Amino acid sequence: MGQILLISLKTDTNNDLSITIKGGRNMSSSSIVLHHFLFLLLIVCHLTSVSSWKKDEFRNCNQTPFCKRARSRKPQHCKLIATDVRIEDGELTAKLMNPQENLDENSLIISLSVYQNGILRMKIDEDPVQNPPKKRFQVPDVVLPEFQSKKLWLQRYTKDGDSFSVYLFDGYEAVVKSDSFEVFVREQSSGKRVLSFNSHGLFDFEQLRVKKEGDEWEERFRSHTDSRPYGPQSISFDVSFYGADFVYGIPEHATSLALKPTNGPGIEESEPYRLFNLDVFEYLHESPFGLYGSIPLMLSHGKSHGTSGFFWLNAAEMQIDVLGSGWDAESSILLPDQKRIDTLWMSEAGIVDAFFFIGPKPKDVVKQYASVTGTSAMPQLFATGYHQCRWNYRDEEDVKNVDSKFDEHDIPYDVLWLDIEHTDGKRYFTWDKALFPNPEEMQKDLASRGRRMVTIVDPHIKRDDNYHIHKEASKNGYYVKDATGKDFDGWCWPGSSSYIDMVNPEIRSWWADKFSYTEYVGSTPSLYIWNDMNEPSVFNGPEVTMPRDALHYGNVEHRELHNAYGYYFHMATSEGLVKREGGKDRPFVLSRAFFPGTQRYGTVWTGDNIAEWEHLRVSVPMILTLGLTGITFSGADVGGFFGNPETELLVRWYQVAAYLPFFRGHAHHDTKRREPWLFGEHNTELIRDAIRVRYTFLPYFYTLFREANMTGVPVARPLWMEFPYDEATFNNDEAFMVGNALLVQGVYTRGAKDVTVYLPRDHTWYDLKTGTAYKGGHAQKMEVTDADIPVFQRSGTIIPRKDRFRRSTLQMENDPYTLVIAVDSSGAAEGEVYIDDGKSYEFKQGAYIHRRFIFSDGKLTSVNLAAASSTSSFVSDCTIERIILLGYSSKTKSVRIEPSNHATDVELGPLQIRSGVRSSALTIRKPNVRISDDWTIRLL
Ligand SMILES: *[C@@H]1O[C@H](CO)[C@@H](O)[C@H](O)[C@H]1NC(C)=O
């Protein structure tokens, strides 16, 4: 949710000042202090420009001193040399010092360590022997503990002139050049570079100093003053990606998948990509502006090297420039004659803790990154279905009504959501007793039809002495403190609020306990959680967030960990749901803010988007970017949060979103109702079809979620991840792959009669609806109707589906499968299915079915992929009721099934006919083999 829209002030019968915000939200408080009051008036004055992004509320680079300083530096600014190079504790370490200055003063320590599978980690921090005034913040709780065990113990380096190199990975080495200081990764044999650090000498590290008289350290922005007790402490440097045609990643921005240059000759003055978690009201659909979450991982891809990645683990505000070619034309630095993209990274605080990923394939980089920060949690099956949300479903009656309408209209869905209004005055873990008098019954009623509920729990706690959460938190000192050491008090939905300090593990554990059934009164096992506003959003704070000089546990300044605040909150909530079930079931928690590692705790959505075509379009690259940077389970509000989508836009949105990992309709308080059946029979049918298609593909999605869980490879993938040699895919973000088999082309314009689709080369593509085969390798215009968007199955793949229509995932549990086989030019195809109980952690003990289907030489075989396990098993009696073969030409008349050896029907017939296109497919009806068994089906 964004900020307040319209506010009126009145005095109620208790003589309390009450503030009514458009849409009927009510905040009553007798303790509104003057600055809040003025702030509110300020918002009222701002309302003249409603429904546009409030640019002035946010700092730009020029108003951000560290960013302005870093951007104005010229190449060769860095004068440091690396000395005292040696191997210590299996790492290569050195001192960085300025030879012109008094030698040992202000030196930095650099260390390089090498990990399995092509990962180099580099840290640069102040030298502890010089007793800096404070230890700089190093982000804990993100790097997996088991990553440490993948460290390769370095024994020696090779010295060549002033370069020191160590083995990195099969055919690659890492090099530290001492003068001028530079670090790079290269291929050993060719000397070709992959990634380099400080090749342009833009490295700068502002060391902590003790404040001297005359030091002006305070920073002002609008009405806010940041005391900055430790002065300037920023870090900046350049990173070059060699062989790169494009760079990607560093969410969250509403922008294209391939990142546009932000600085350089001929480039219109642009802001750098900002990474600073903010609650941005009505964000623009094309902007480098930082949104709700931050992942400082950039990937590059190109024809010559392939893919590489650079990740800076740092939770302070970051700004990143992608430099256009020729930006360094005036510098005299000579770099190897290799195509490359240069970038400039700037952060306000922290240390350098950087990871170089050498790839060289796209999936290698995401796997390398996942080995550092973890793969996605395995979601419960229900969470992969359709979610219906609105701010707000008013009361129990409304919930019942919406729920029954889904059944009446035969539309499947799994989860109904309640936004902030369900609480008693925005006190989370409570219910508005008038509107929701029987929350347990309500949830049980939904659960009786296999449906769940999600309620919202935000990190701002109403400062109300009668509210148990506030009482405990203030008594125990669990709140974030302001710069003076008092509980930080900011303005959010409940009015005057304080914020739980989730950085402290003891506080997280306390918070997690709040989700137990006894503490969260009115909750039941079918209730799950939504964390909003966790950037954190503070309505009267600088840039709508917490002041940077606020203090966390361990005397950490908010500026040092700002981007990780929401991550900790998400973590604690997710751990709460795990605790609630005694560690048995998987949690479901949706979060708006995120950070590296978020994928281990739950789901993310792209926040408060707008009901506009361009927002539908940008939702695709935003979700693909999240997948590239580890967070595969993400989605955008279907229909757009703000505003009323025209019907055609809403339908198109459902059609695209049905193929994206997290699928939820959501809308702002002030929008018209937009449940799927409100737009006439025809449109109800179109939306129903879109949602049903999603449900038929759930076995495939679930299998892909397991792949993401095992490897880090995302569910929704940019085309270039699957076709890394097909240049035409590198900056295509209108289409995407679901797994390696489905290509989805969105329709993003009103009244479209056709769309241009690029189908990657060297494959045949089968239209999902008609079975029509298309040769890949060129862009082609294709007709579209309002019925669906173009979706294709790639030749050589097998997709498991469940084609019977049900009300929810739970009701599909025992349904039989359909396998769709699209053969390649050699008549072969492969695919997988993964199945487990859909909710518990038993799969970790081996309670799952994992099969690979291999089709070749007219023979389909099911092979077991599950590891033999004696501790636990999962049984399913589900059978396969249909096998559809696309692109298979033969005179097949019957099939033989082994081992049972019974014959079954084969039918050659039209798959489905659309606009005159005829095509045929071979359908094997009722083979009725069990999904969990070994078998072979021979086509005779
Ligand atoms: C998969 O998901 C489970 C449950 O969320 C998690 O515990 C596990 O670490 C994940 N990764 C792997 C490789 O199983």
Atom of ligand 1 nearest to the CA of 377: 5
In a domain, 686, yes or no: no
Atom of ligand 1 nearest to the CA of 841: 4
Closest residue by Cα to atom 5, ligand 1, is 377
Residue 637 CA, ligand 1 centroid: distance in Å: 27
In a domain, 402, yes or no: no
State which amino acid sits at residue 288.
P
Q: Measuring from each residue's beta carbon to the nearest atom of ligand 1, which residues come in under 6 Å?
A: 375, 377-378, 586, 709-710
Whether residues 776 and 823 fall in one domain:
yes
- Calpha distance 288→284 (Å, rounded): 9
Helix axis angle for 698-711 and 362-373, nearest 10°, is: 70
Choose one of 709, 711, 841 to mutate for the ligand 1 pocket test, by most ligand atoms within 8 angstroms of C-beta: 709
In a domain, 272, yes or no: yes
Residue 377 CA, ligand 1 centroid: distance in Å: 5
Beta carbons of 341 and 323 less than 8 angstroms apart = yes
Q: What is the pLDDT of residue 424?
A: 98
Q: 512-534 b/e with 16+ CB inside 10 Å = b?
A: bebbeeeebebbbebbbbbbbbb
Among residues 463, 458, 485, 490, the alpha carbon closest in space to that of 474 is found at 463
From 316, 340, 373, the end of a domain falls on: 373
- Calpha distance 547→551 (Å, rounded): 9
Whether residues 43 and 69 fall in one domain:
no
Sign of the CA dihedral running 37, 39, 44, 45: positive
Closest residue by Cα to atom 13, ligand 1, is 710
Which residues constitute the domain of residue 761?
727-939
In a domain, 451, yes or no: no
Domain count along the chain: 4
Q: Determine which helix (DSSP H) or strand (DSSP E) holds 37, and give its type and residue range.
A: helix 34-46
Whether residues 12 and 142 fall in one domain:
no
Residue 363 CA, ligand 1 centroid: distance in Å: 18
Residue 400 CA, ligand 1 centroid: distance in Å: 35
In a domain, 56, yes or no: no
- Calpha distance 644→352 (Å, rounded): 45
Closest residue by Cα to atom 6, ligand 1, is 377
Closest residue by Cα to atom 7, ligand 1, is 377
* pTM for the predicted model, two decimal places: 0.94
Whether residues 38 and 173 fall in one domain:
no
From 344, 373, 402, the end of a domain falls on: 373
166 DSSP β-pair partners: 174
Whether residues 471 and 359 fall in one domain:
no
Residue 103 CA, ligand 1 centroid: distance in Å: 49
Measured in whole angstroms, the distance separating CA 640 from the mean position of its chain's CA atoms is 18
Residue 2 CA, ligand 1 centroid: distance in Å: 33
Q: What is the pLDDT of residue 903?
A: 55
Beta carbons of 312 and 296 less than 8 angstroms apart = yes
From 601, 633, 653, the end of a domain falls on: 601
Task: Residue 540: give its domain's CATH number.
Answer: 3.20.20.80
Closest residue by Cα to atom 9, ligand 1, is 377
Q: What is the pLDDT of residue 349?
A: 98
Atom of ligand 1 nearest to the CA of 844: 14
Q: What is the pLDDT of residue 615?
A: 98
In a domain, 439, yes or no: no
Beta carbons of 369 and 357 less than 8 angstroms apart = yes
Sign of the CA dihedral running 285, 289, 291, 296: positive
Q: Determine which helix (DSSP H) or strand (DSSP E) holds 400, and give its type and residue range.
A: helix 396-408
In a domain, 87, yes or no: yes
Locate tokens 């059944």: which residue?
407
Task: Residue 234: give its domain's CATH number.
Answer: 2.60.40.1760
Whether residues 578 and 509 fall in one domain:
yes
* SS3 assignment, position 148: helix
Whether residues 31 and 83 fall in one domain:
no
pLDDT block averages, 10 residues each, the chain of length 940:
42 38 36 43 42 81 97 95 96 94 79 97 95 93 97 96 96 96 97 97 95 92 94 97 98 98 91 97 91 98 93 98 94 90 98 98 98 98 98 98 98 98 98 98 97 98 98 98 98 98 97 98 98 98 97 97 98 98 98 98 98 98 98 98 98 98 97 98 98 98 98 98 97 98 98 98 94 93 97 98 96 97 96 98 96 97 88 92 89 82 57 45 89 93
Q: What is the pLDDT of residue 863?
A: 96
Atom of ligand 1 nearest to the CA of 600: 5
Q: What is the pLDDT of residue 796?
A: 98
Residue 531 CA, ligand 1 centroid: distance in Å: 21
Closest residue by Cα to atom 11, ligand 1, is 709
For the annotated catalytic residues, the residue numbers are: 532, 535, 608
Q: What is the pLDDT of residue 237?
A: 98
In a domain, 387, yes or no: no
